[in-house]
Amino acid sequence: MARVVVDVMPKPEILDPQGKAVLGALPRLGFVGVADVRQGKRFELEIDGELTDERLAEVNEMAEKLLSNPVIEDFKVSVVA
Amino acid sequence: MKVGVVTFPGSLDDADARRAVRHAGHEAVALWHGDHDLKGVDAILLPGGFSYGDYLRCGAIARFAPVMTEVVDAAKGGMPVLGICNGFQILCESHLLPGALIRNDHRKFGCLDQKLVIESNRTAWTNQYEVGQEITIVLKNGEGSFVADEMTLDMLEAEGQVVARYVGNPNGSQRAIAGISNAAGNVVGLMPHPEHAIEDLVGPGTDGLGFFTSLGALTV
- Enumerate domains of chain B plus CATH numbers: 2-213 (3.40.50.880)
- Burial string for A20-57 (b: 16+ CB within 10 Å, else e) reads beebeeeeeeeeeeeeeeeebeebeeebeeebeeeeee
C-alpha to C-alpha distance for A2 and B86, rounded to whole angstroms? 36
**Sign of the dihedral defined by the CA atoms of residues B117, B122, B125, B128, in that order:** positive
Give CA torsion, residues B200, B202, B52, B190, to 10 deg: 20
* CATH code at A2-79: 3.30.1280.10
pLDDT at B220: 46
Residues 6 or more apart whose Cβ sits within 8 Å of residue B44: B3, B4, B5, B6, B31, B38, B71, B74, B75, B79, B80, B81, B82
Assess contact for A32 and B20: CB atoms under 8 A: no
Q: Where are the domains of chain A?
A: 2-79
Asked whether the predicted pLDDT for residue A49 surpasses 60, the reply is yes
Q: Do A15 and B172 touch (CB under 8 A)?
A: yes
Chain segment B161-198, per-residue pLDDT in tens? 999 999 999 999 999 999 999 999 999 999 999 999 99
Chain segment B109-132, per-residue pLDDT in tens? 999 999 999 999 999 999 999 999
Which residue from B93, B104, B147 is facing A14, i.e. has the nearest CB? B147
Judged by a CB distance cut-off of 8 A, whether residue A61 touches chain B is no
Note the ipTM here: 0.85
> What is the least distance, in Å, from the CA of B100 to any CA of chain A?
7
Q: Do B64 and A14 touch (CB under 8 A)?
A: no
Scanning B106-135 for CB atoms below 8 A from A yields 106-107
Judged by a CB distance cut-off of 8 A, whether residue B172 touches chain A is yes
Which positions in chain B touch A10 (Cβ < 8 Å)? Answer: 102
Ranges of residues in chain B with a pLDDT under 70 are 218-220
pLDDT at B219: 53
pLDDT at B157: 98
Which residue from A17, A67, A69 is facing B100, i.e. has the nearest CB? A69
